[in-house]
Amino acid sequence: MAKKTLKDYDFTDKKVLVRVDFNVPQTKDGTGHIVDDSRIVAALPTIRQLLKQNATVILMSHLGRPKGPEAKFTLRPVAERLEELLGQKVHFLASETVVDASVKQAAAALKGGEVALLENTRFVSGETKNDPAFSKDLASLADIFVNDAFATCHRAHSSNVGVAALLPSALGLLVQKEVDIMGEALQDPKHPFVAILGGAKVSDKIGVIENLLDKVDTILIGGGMAYTFLKAMGKEIGTSLLEADKLELAKDLLHRAKEKGVRVELPTDGVIADAVAENQKTAIVSIDAIPADKMSLDIGPETIKTFTSIVKEAKTVVWNGPMGVFEIKEFSNGTLALAKAMAECQGTTIIGGGDSAAAVEQAGYKEQMTHVSTGGGASLEFLEGKELPGIAAITDR
């Protein structure tokens, strides 16, 4: 079912409540200094489009996981940074309860073309419980609700699902882009369609694999999760990561892939070491020669060659999860090589948020991707084919 977007409303002189994702990383010293403002930058197109129509824009977001009102989780520094980026005043409506009489008064007094930011929605315990009373307080501030926070769409909270039940609503530009690009890739992909799955656990990716088995031509499996599959095939994996309780499932998934004619590629070599730590003595070995007392922490050069050649020929590639412990230099080659291959791929390239997005950014290839998802958990559930509550709640077209 298609959802309403910004094109479906006339926002002229309307008060618009916008759920954004301003959950930005800050320095640990308590000064509130923002380390990376890319999430704030990502919300600017929607904010500017609303301001162009002389709407009053009232923004709301969470930050971190506060236990009630905590000064270190205030959104005030975010309001200041947003003010710099927008080049206009941002009214910060500070309240420990997010919405109180003075906030309602201040919101009512705002004029068309003005911007305000509410305090951290998670200062109110009812936010994560989708509390009707808190939803009602938030909705009372505006005429229309816009959801532009894809990263929280897989959760049913007051500031997305609760408010959407009370106001006419629309998807913001950022969420619309996520839904359009990822939706098209899953529903009508150009072939060959390749999925790259990595990260630590098979259990995190079961739903994704099951959903993609009917859609993809090839699945490349790397990261810690690969060793559960390799063990299921009877390989010796040393002390590499293993989910022993998922061996039968891994065997079953490989069998189902074969039945459906889906090619599954697993590592043929790896980078071994004694432990997950920096400055380790490493060696490259065949996957059939991992010593009993060593662990494999990245894909090796032969695997990189195979994986990257498949990626470069693809017409659609979806990637979720790194190929190794990419945060440590010695085990980052596989992930960075795949990021480069995706940047060179002529097809549609989609990065499913989380660690993969961080790796692509770290490698400097973010701009060369068709789409880098802004939500790790949300994009994972989207790839699993699940309906996201934050999107389902938006007014149907």
316-320/295-299 β-pairing: unpaired
**Of 201, 251, 366, 386, which residue is the catalytic one?**
201
Q: Closest Cα to residue 149, out of 87, 63, 211, 88? A: 63
Which of 39, 155, 231, 246 does the annotation list as catalytic?
39
Q: What's 106's DSSP letter?
A: H
Please name the helix (run of DSSP H) or strand (run of DSSP E) that holds residue 195, with its range, or none. strand 193-197
Quick one: how far is CA 31 from the chain centroid?
26
* CA dist., res. 153 & res. 379, Å (int): 9
Alpha-helical segments (H) within the chain:
38-52, 76-86, 101-109, 132-139, 163-164, 173-187, 206-212, 226-232, 247-259, 301-313, 333-344, 354-363, 376-383, 389-392
Catalytic residue check, 201: yes
Query: Which one of 251, 377, 385, 386 is the catalytic residue?
Result: 377
DSSP structural state of residue 395: P
Q: Please state, in angstroms and as integers, the Cα–Cα distance from residue 382 to each residue in 164, 195, 211, following that order.
A: 20, 14, 10
- Give how far Cα 349 sits from Cα of 41, 337, 338, Å: 22, 15, 12
Q: Which helix (H) or strand (E) holds 328?
A: none
377 is catalytic: yes
Helix axes 38-52, 76-86, angle to 10 degrees: 60
**Phi, psi values for residue 212, rounded to 5°:** -85, -15
The residue with tokens 């490493």 is 282
CB 351 within 8 A of CB 197: no
Question: Annotated catalytic, 215?
Answer: no
Residue 317: CB atoms within 10 A of its CB come to: 30
- How many Cβ atoms sit within 10 Å of the Cβ of residue 196? 29
Is 321 an active-site residue? Answer: no
Beta bridge partners of 170: 146
Quote the radius of gyration of the chain (alpha carbons, Å).
23
CA distance 259 to 274: 38
Q: Of 354, 375, 376, 390, which is the active-site residue?
A: 354
Give the residue numbers marked as catalytic: 39, 201, 354, 377
